[in-house]
């Protein structure tokens, strides 16, 4: 692995110069975070039904007594699973699993900041719950099968959209090759009403993956090539021993 090697004095000089860029990036990130919180909200006045532990749940019940809710939209639809999909009949997308692994240990801290985190997929609840147990996750998972939730939040696509090869995703009409795509949506419960405050998709999910933040620190980086191919990635129990 070839790279520029310098004296300690020159190393400190280069690092100090880069520190100024890092500080500016941090300030810009703070500005972006504030601007995100200041975005307008939209009222959620449509009823959605989910299945979880104990049976049917409403969107309001997914808050679990808290006022802020973050939903990770997991790609998992056994009915459309094939060798070409990133999920199987029994397992969610391996990349979504990577993101959800990162969620798990943060949940206790987020709960104490009035935030509930849950994962939702269109897969039957029993299959999603079985995978949750396999992974050892502590956060709740739900099925949105039978409701419009996944379609309204643009993470599942209809047969007609699949036939057309395009759908509304990430705030534009994009080509679609699979029936599911990843995303995260944020909701607030206030004054007896529920508001949708934010949704992000595609690379907008990068900030939620702490493992990628670590990889961005090391010399080889993500090492996924210019197209960001994740061929190296496996579900946590599928890596070679």
Q: Please check whether residue 152 lies inside any domain of the structure.
A: yes
Helix (H, G, I), strand (E, B) or coil at 205: helix
Whether residue 225 is predicted with pLDDT greater than 80 in this model: the reply is no
Identify the domain containing residue 52 by its residue range. 42-207
* pTM for the model: 0.94
> Is 28 part of a structural domain of the chain?
no
User: What pLDDT score does 19 carry?
Assistant: 98
In this predicted model, which residue has the larger pLDDT, 241 or 11?
11
Report if residue 69 sits inside a domain. Answer: yes
pLDDT of 228 higher than 70: no
Q: For the chain, give the number of residues.
A: 241
**229 lies in a domain?**
no
In a domain, 73, yes or no: yes
Closest CA to 91 of 54, 127, 44: 127
Residue 34 has pLDDT above 80, yes or no: yes
Report, as an integer, the average pLDDT of 212-235: 88
Which pLDDT value is given to residue 224? Answer: 84
Question: Is 174 part of any domain?
Answer: yes
The overall average pLDDT reported for the chain is 96
How many structural domains does the chain have? 1
For the domain that residue 159 is a member of, what is the CATH number?
Answer: 3.40.30.10
Tell me if 195 is assigned to some domain.
yes
Summarised one tens digit per residue, pLDDT across range 168-190 is 999 999 899 999 999 999 999 99
Residue 194 lies in a domain: yes
Strand partners, 8: none
User: What CA–CA distance (Å, rounded) separates 176 from 186?
Assistant: 24
């Amino acid at each position: 692995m070839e790279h520029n090697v310098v004296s300690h004095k020159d190393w400190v000089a280069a690092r100090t110069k880069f520190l100024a860029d890092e500080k500016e990036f941090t300030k810009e990130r703070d500005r972006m975070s504030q601007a995100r919180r200041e975005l307008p909200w939209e009222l959620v006045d449509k009823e959605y039904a989910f299945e979880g532990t104990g049976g049917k749940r409403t969107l309001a019940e997914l808050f679990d007594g808290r006022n802020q809710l973050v939903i990770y939209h997991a790609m998992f639809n056994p009915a459309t699973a094939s060798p070409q999909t990133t999920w199987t009949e029994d397992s969610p997308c391996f990349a979504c699993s990577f993101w959800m692994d990162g969620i798990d240990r943060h949940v206790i801290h987020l709960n104490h900041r009035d935030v509930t985190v849950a994962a939702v997929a269109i897969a039957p609840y029993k299959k999603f719950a079985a995978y949750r147990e396999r992974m050892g996750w502590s956060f709740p998972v739900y099925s949105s099968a039978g409701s419009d939730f996944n379609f309204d939040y643009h993470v599942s696509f209809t047969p007609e959209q699949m036939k057309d090869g395009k759908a509304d995703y990430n705030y534009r009409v994009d080509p679609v090759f699979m029936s599911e795509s990843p995303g995260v949506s944020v909701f607030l419960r206030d004054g007896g009403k529920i508001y949708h405050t934010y949704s992000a998709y595609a690379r907008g999910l990068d900030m939620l993956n702490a493992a990628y933040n670590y990889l961005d620190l090391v010399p080889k980086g993500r090492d996924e090539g210019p197209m960001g191919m994740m061929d190296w990635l496996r579900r946590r129990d599928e890596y070679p021993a």
